[in-house]
């Protein structure tokens, strides 16, 4: 961790940008959308709503990913276990803030159509009852952007593999505040996915 977390309490944003990008063929976090690297776009979104309470979790090519995101209002967390899957990045981010945070907002670097207006609505829905979970729905799927209260931190740290935090959401189905997020379905796994987004905006 490059900078310590010094602010007590509150919501912290965790931007996941540590993956190997196997299907993309190169480090997709550095691919550009509307003239900006995907990781920088996600990080600015996080900083819009959480300011310095923002973590960038980087792994593969972490130096380049960090440089593409500079300057950071928050701080960098390096996940050396990124090859184990996205769960390792979630756990890494949660460990970094669990002593200070009352909740975490998990954002992906590869959902470039998600905007600040939507994330602000998600946060507003969560603030109505901060003990609940708030997550996004696209089609039949539930997922990020998602907000997890402190009570779920142990479960997030215990995640394994490449499934993300969906098992935690499933385990708390009765505690979810769900918002429809069509933009969340536009995730980037391949160069073709990224190119197709140009036809959607």
- pLDDT, one tens digit per residue, over 150-181 is 999 999 999 988 878 999 999 999 999 999 99
Peptide bond into 44 cis (omega under 30): no
- Work out the angle between the directed axes of helices 38-50 and 62-69 (0-180°, nearest 10): 60
User: How many CA atoms does the CB half-sphere of 167 hold within 13 Å?
Assistant: 14
Average pLDDT, the chain: 87
Higher-pLDDT residue of 72 and 2 is 72
Quick one: average pLDDT of 100-114? 93
pLDDT band at 23 (very low <50, low <70, confident <90, very high): low
Joined tokens for residue 10? 């509150």
Residue 194 has pLDDT above 80, yes or no: no
What Rg value do the Cα atoms of the chain yield, rounded?
A: 15
Asked whether residue 18 carries a pLDDT value surpassing 90, the answer given is: no
Q: What Å distances lie between residue 175 and 60, 88, 130, 146, 148, CA to CA?
A: 34, 24, 11, 13, 11
The structural domains of the chain, with segments of one domain joined by +, span: 11-197
Taking the C-alpha atoms of residue 130 and residue 123, their distance in angstroms, rounded to an integer, is 9
Tell me the pTM: 0.90
- How remote is the C-alpha of 80 from its chain's centroid? 17
* Cβ count near 144 (within 10 Å): 25
Antiparallel, parallel or unpaired: β 32-33 and 75-78? unpaired
Are the CB atoms for 17 and 110 separated by under 8 Å? Answer: no
CATH number of 11-197: 3.90.550.10
Which tops the pLDDT comparison, 16 or 128? 16
pLDDT classification of 187: cutoffs 50, 70, 90: confident
Q: How does pLDDT run across 43-85, given as a tens digit for each residue?
A: 999 999 999 999 999 988 899 999 999 899 999 999 999 989 8
What is residue 129's three-state secondary structure? Answer: coil
């Amino acid at each position: 961790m490059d900078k310590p977390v010094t602010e007590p309490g509150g919501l912290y944003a965790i931007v996941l940008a540590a993956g190997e990008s196997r299907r993309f063929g190169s480090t997709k976090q550095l691919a550009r959308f509307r003239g900006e690297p995907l990781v920088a776009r996600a990080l600015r979104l996080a900083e819009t709503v959480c300011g310095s309470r923002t973590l960038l979790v980087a792994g593969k090519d972490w130096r380049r990913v960090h440089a593409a995101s500079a300057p950071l209002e928050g701080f960098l967390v390096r996940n050396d276990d990124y090859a184990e899957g996205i769960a390792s990045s979630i756990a890494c981010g949660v460990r970094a803030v669990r002593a200070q945070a009352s909740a975490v907002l998990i954002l992906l670097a590869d959902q470039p159509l998600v905007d600040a207006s939507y994330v602000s609505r998600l946060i507003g829905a969560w603030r109505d009852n901060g003990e609940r979970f708030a997550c996004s729905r696209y089609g039949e799927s539930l997922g990020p952007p998602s907000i997890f209260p402190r009570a779920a931190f142990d479960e997030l740290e215990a995640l394994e593999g490449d499934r993300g935090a969906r098992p935690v959401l499933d385990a708390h189905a009765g505690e979810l505040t769900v918002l429809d997020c069509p933009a969340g379905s536009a995730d980037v796994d391949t160069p073709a996915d990224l190119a197709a987004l140009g036809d959607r905006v």
